[in-house]
Amino acid sequence: MSKVSSSAIDPATRQALLHLSFATFASMTIQRLCDPMLPELSQTFQVSRSQAAQVISYFAVTYGLMQIFFGPLGDKYGKYKVLAWATVGCSVGCFGSAFAYDLPFLVFCRVLTATCTAAIIPLGLAWVGDSVDYTMRQATLAQVGLGSTMGIVAGQLFGGLITDTLGWRWAFGLVGILFFIVGCVLLRNPIAKLQHELSHGPHGERSLSFFKNAAHVFAKQRPRRILFCICLEGTFVFGAIAVSATHLHDHHALAVSWAGAIVSLFGIGGVVYMALASWLIPRLGESGLVRVGALSFGLSYGIIGFSPHWFYDVVAFMGAGFGFFMFHNTMQVHATQMAPEVRGTCMALFAAILFAGQSVGVLVCAALTAYISSSWVLLLMGLSLTILGWALPVLIDPKKMRPTSA
């Protein structure tokens, strides 16, 4: 068994992967940037907080819907090239947000930003699938994922810190500068010439129809099983996260801001996994990663649900994040292999169905808390992902879930 290492990847691709990590960092930062801004936005535009929350909800809806557009576009014209231009486009939305004169215009700029942001992570993952051999792909995806995971944490912290010091407009402006610089760097990279993607055949032979490409993917049994499991993953994980802060507030009498800070440690757990991924992957293999990851998430949420003091939850949220990203990283690898000839569409489906699962999970968990304690809801979600993780090798295909990474 050889260690998975990026040393086997050519220098141009390694450089492109580094640039891609910065793009995914910026992408996740802008998604979470507005979370701590809502009180300030509400005061600036003289609207309720629920109205100000449109900058988050409209962003999320647009992000999910735009997968229909970018998946086939990346398959036809080149994933790296499309995501590079989309990264530059994000800067336009951010600069517009910084100069917004009323809430509707800010929401419009957030929708514009989401339209471009939707291309970055799915097409980035698909490009890695095109460019990196399967034996090194999971470790490589973890390295790229480190950027997006750190972006989740940075968005929350950066959004609050800059809003309290320089003002919320500066937060958008600074992230806009980051997008512009990273986008220009991506476009100047030799990889943007698509030398990897050209090996898969002429772009002109690929359809721009999302539904035609999606039908091609769903015609195969294994992709259907993978996407079904991804939907369940989104339901269980993000359903639990949606009620976590409220649970801490209700059961431990924590301030909402402090409860949110503890929940954000979920992202720190993800960073820890990404840092250890190259060591864990060859030792646990794919089956071991999904099972241990799901078990870590389940045990952590059992602790979160019934811990006698919030201090235990600090460690538990990091354990939950560690387990989730261990599980999710493996699912990403399998998604890249669903239909390599239309890999951009595959990753767009992956993102869209994960998003749909999140929406279902939030609704289900919110409804359940009206009938049972949030402690039991959190335990149920954790137990559900644990069962899914242990059944996953059989559900997908035991011959395809490799016990070790060669």
**The predicted structure's pLDDT at residue 191:** 61
**The predicted structure's pLDDT at residue 134:** 73
**78 compared with 3, residue with greater pLDDT:** 78
**The predicted structure's pLDDT at residue 7:** 47
Q: What is the mean pLDDT of residues 244-263?
A: 78
Domain spans of the chain? 8-195, 207-390
104-130 residue pLDDT tens: 899 899 999 999 998 888 888 888 877
Confidence category of residue 190, pLDDT binned at 50, 70, 90: low
The whole-chain average pLDDT of the chain stands at 80
Confidence category of residue 210, pLDDT binned at 50, 70, 90: low
What share of the chain has pLDDT > 90, as a percent?
Answer: 20
| The domains spanning 8-195 and 207-390 adopt the same CATH topology | yes
Q: What is the mean pLDDT of residues 306-322?
A: 91
**402 compared with 153, residue with greater pLDDT:** 153
CA atoms of 406 and 403, how far apart (whole Å): 9
Q: Which of 46-50, 373-377, 378-382 has the highest mean pLDDT?
A: 378-382
**245 compared with 82, residue with greater pLDDT:** 82
Radius of gyration of the chain (CA): 20
Q: Does residue 223 register a pLDDT over 50?
A: yes
**The predicted structure's pLDDT at residue 376:** 93
pTM of the complete model: 0.74
**57 compared with 268, residue with greater pLDDT:** 268
**Superfamily of structural domain 8-195:** MFS general substrate transporter like domains (1.20.1250.20)
Q: How many CB atoms lie within 10 A of CB 9?
A: 17
**The predicted structure's pLDDT at residue 303:** 94
**The predicted structure's pLDDT at residue 368:** 85
Q: Could you tell me which of 206, 187, 182 has the C-alpha nearest to residue 74?
A: 206
CA atoms of 257 and 261, how far apart (whole Å): 6
User: CB-hemisphere CA count at 13 Å for 350?
Assistant: 28
Q: Could you tell me which of 91, 90, 96, 105 has the C-alpha nearest to residue 55?
A: 105
Domain 207-390 class, CATH top level: mainly alpha
Q: Does residue 153 register a pLDDT over 80?
A: no
Residues with Cβ within 8 Å of residue 32, at least 6 apart in sequence: 151, 152, 154, 155, 156, 159
Q: Does residue 177 register a pLDDT over 80?
A: yes
